[in-house]
Structure 1
Amino acid sequence: MLRRILLGLILAGVAGAGVFWWLTIPAVVAPASLPPRAPNLANGVATFNVGGCSSCHAVPNQPDRLKLGGGLAMPSPFGTFYVPNISPDPTYGIGRWSEADFVTAVLKGTSPDGVHYFPAFPYTSYQNATVDDVRDLFAYLKTLPAVAGKPRDHDVPFPFNIRRNIGVWKWLFMDGKPHVADASHSASWKRGAYLVNGMGHCAECHSPRNFLGGIVQTQRFAGGPNPEGEGWVPNITQKRLAEWSAKDIAYFLETGQTPDGDTAGGSMARVIRNTSQLPPEDRDAIAEYVKSLPAVEGPPRPPKKAKDDQKS
């Protein structure tokens, strides 16, 4: 009897390991699926800006937003991630990557070595981008200056540092479905929906997350704790922006100025440096889509800490 129990446990363990291994196989894009095409560099620039590539990948504390040597620290509940070098440097950046390597990284979250990237890289949103947009982005990145130097390794403790486990996370939170436009809306609205939910990855910061780090879909865009650890990211549904017009939102994306005269700060200031470079029609499209988001109640914001001089 004991032998049968042990044998059953062993078989169950082997079966479970097999299912785990199958579920966590890193997805890739086959080079053969990318037919020859002439890159559109102007579209690559627009994709670069809406994707906010320089916000994270530019070398910190220097003025050139096109020096993409990485190194920015991104704290999180799961450890601190350090943004990689995506300049064309052949040793430390993506200079030796193939086009399929890059498309795989952006759309599937898999490295050229066949390893899962941590979801601090917002591929759950980037998966909604078109392959052509990603290919144009890659072509544009190759025109930028190469930056030598490798950022430090991520500081992520066990068990979160086990990359294979990310395959389970992807199975839970990454559906792999392409973006589908709602035919009932205008072309501008559909463009805005694509930009916001795809390369713009607005929900990645403007949504609360569950204990596994996945977006709480019922409160998408409703704000929540800053994923980087300090502060609060605002609700951008009509719960908070009801008094903003679409023109107000577009102007904010261009200048960082709110309707009441305030100015964007923190990580949003970095975002504005990118959205200010977009074609006006793209800012208008984003504004039209954001203005259409129904009011959603976000998580309760904790009370502000009392200042030292107010403490007893």
Structure 2
Amino acid sequence: MMAWPIGMDPPDGLDMLTGDVDRGAYLARASGCIACHSNFEAGGAPLAGGKPIVTRFGTFYPPNITTDPEHGIGAWTVSDFARAVRQGISPEGDPYYPTFTYMFYGDFSDQDIADLWSAFQTVPAVAEPSPPQEAIFPLGQRWVMKLWRAAFLMEPDTAADPEQTAQWNRGKWLVEGAGHCGACHTPRNLAGARIDTERFAGNDRLPEKNQAPAIRPTDLRDSGWDLTSLAYALRSGIMPDGDVFGGTMAEVVTEGTRFLSDDDLTAIATYLLQSNLPEDTN
């Protein structure tokens, strides 16, 4: 369902659910929606379109997702929204480019979707069109992305481990799912797909010449991180050596993780420092 063929059947029962606006807003922060789809540096309104993402595959523009019916998602249904978030498929049936991190949201529950949808309905409409995506040939033809999905799309590994604590499992859900840490901290192959055997091993080829360090448990410990300092950094942006996060990670904190609860920040730190990754063999 996630890869090929692309499912178009609407989710059942979503119209019957009552969304929690506050929970949806919290999940939007945890999932990076505000950071990606807003360009505050240019004076943009929240969710009215993000900064361009310049990659070797072209320049991609996070679109306007305000309630404007023409330029945003105001004409969408909740089923359209669910398909976009969990499957990466537009209301017209076209696949989105993987700069949209939908593949990490595939395990969002119907209630998660209803909560997010309710929160997005409170966003003021901004009648501002998003620039067209500028993908290199042949990626400008959306059907090509169906082939990419069939070859490389991975479903999120967010299932709870019964042998772990509730805190560890909450951290796993946030790190492997909503927080999509692997989108930046995992290297990618020539086709732009994550190399799962090197999960969290770092990535020195991010857009705008940014780099993401390795965040496997031994890497973090060797760099001086512990449970307290990692949770604090996700709140404040301040690292153990007194320096501060820069680049993309600064935006992640400013528009995302600093709004999370202390319990969730501790859960993220717990999972990152205690996960048993195959690559963590140092």
Counterpart selection for 1:268 from 224, 228, 249: 249
Counterpart selection for 1:278 from 254, 257, 260: 260
- Corresponding residue for residue 59 of structure 1: 39
Distance 1:276 1:194, change over 3 A: same
Q: Where in structure 2 are there 5+ consecutive unaligned residues?
A: none
Deviation at 1:248, TM superposition (A): 1.0
C-alpha RMSD of the superposition: 2.0
Residue by residue over 1:8-35, the C-alpha shift from the partner in whole angstroms, topping out at 9 and shown as x without a partner, is xxxxxxxxxxxxxxx8542235143426
Deviation at 1:281, TM superposition (A): 1.1
Conserved in 2, the CA contact under 8 Å of 1:77 and 1:229? no
- Corresponding residue for residue 118 of structure 2: 139
Code of the aligned partner of 1:85: N
Conserved in 1, the CA contact under 8 Å of 2:157 and 2:177? no
For residues 84 and 77 of structure 1, the distance between their equivalents in structure 2, rounded to whole angstroms, comes to: 20
Code of the aligned partner of 2:185: H
For residues 268 and 24 of structure 2, the distance between their equivalents in structure 1, rounded to whole angstroms, comes to: 18
Conserved in 2, the CA contact under 8 Å of 1:74 and 1:82? yes
- DSSP 3-state at the match of 2:178: coil
For residues 236 and 157 of structure 1, the distance between their equivalents in structure 2, rounded to whole angstroms, comes to: 31
Distance 1:297 1:178, change over 3 A: closer
Conserved in 2, the CA contact under 8 Å of 1:249 and 1:287? yes
- Corresponding residue for residue 117 of structure 1: 96
- Corresponding residue for residue 55 of structure 2: 76
Residue by residue over 1:6-62, the C-alpha shift from the partner in whole angstroms, topping out at 9 and shown as x without a partner, is xxxxxxxxxxxxxxxxx8542235143426121112210111111111111013425
Residue by residue over 1:164-187, the C-alpha shift from the partner in whole angstroms, topping out at 9 and shown as x without a partner, is 121122122224577311111100
For residues 297 and 188 of structure 1, the distance between their equivalents in structure 2, rounded to whole angstroms, comes to: 21
Size of the aligned set, in residue pairs, is 275
For residues 231 and 37 of structure 1, the distance between their equivalents in structure 2, rounded to whole angstroms, comes to: 41
TM-score relative to the length of structure 2 = 0.91
- Corresponding residue for residue 236 of structure 1: 215
- DSSP 3-state at the match of 1:86: coil
Deviation at 1:200, TM superposition (A): 0.7
For residues 268 and 9 of structure 2, the distance between their equivalents in structure 1, rounded to whole angstroms, comes to: 29
Deviation at 1:294, TM superposition (A): 4.4
- DSSP 3-state at the match of 1:75: strand
For residues 107 and 12 of structure 2, the distance between their equivalents in structure 1, rounded to whole angstroms, comes to: 21
Distance 1:24 1:161, change over 3 A: farther
- Corresponding residue for residue 69 of structure 2: 90
Conserved in 2, the CA contact under 8 Å of 1:81 and 1:155? yes
For residues 147 and 226 of structure 1, the distance between their equivalents in structure 2, rounded to whole angstroms, comes to: 33
- Corresponding residue for residue 308 of structure 1: none
- DSSP 3-state at the match of 1:32: coil
Code of the aligned partner of 1:290: L
Counterpart selection for 1:292 from 266, 269, 274: 274
- Corresponding residue for residue 46 of structure 1: 26
Rg larger in 1 or in 2?
A: 1
Deviation at 1:279, TM superposition (A): 1.5
Conserved in 2, the CA contact under 8 Å of 1:28 and 1:108? no
Q: Where in structure 1 are there 5+ consecutive unaligned residues?
A: 1-22, 299-312
Distance 1:102 1:73, change over 3 A: same
Deviation at 1:293, TM superposition (A): 3.2
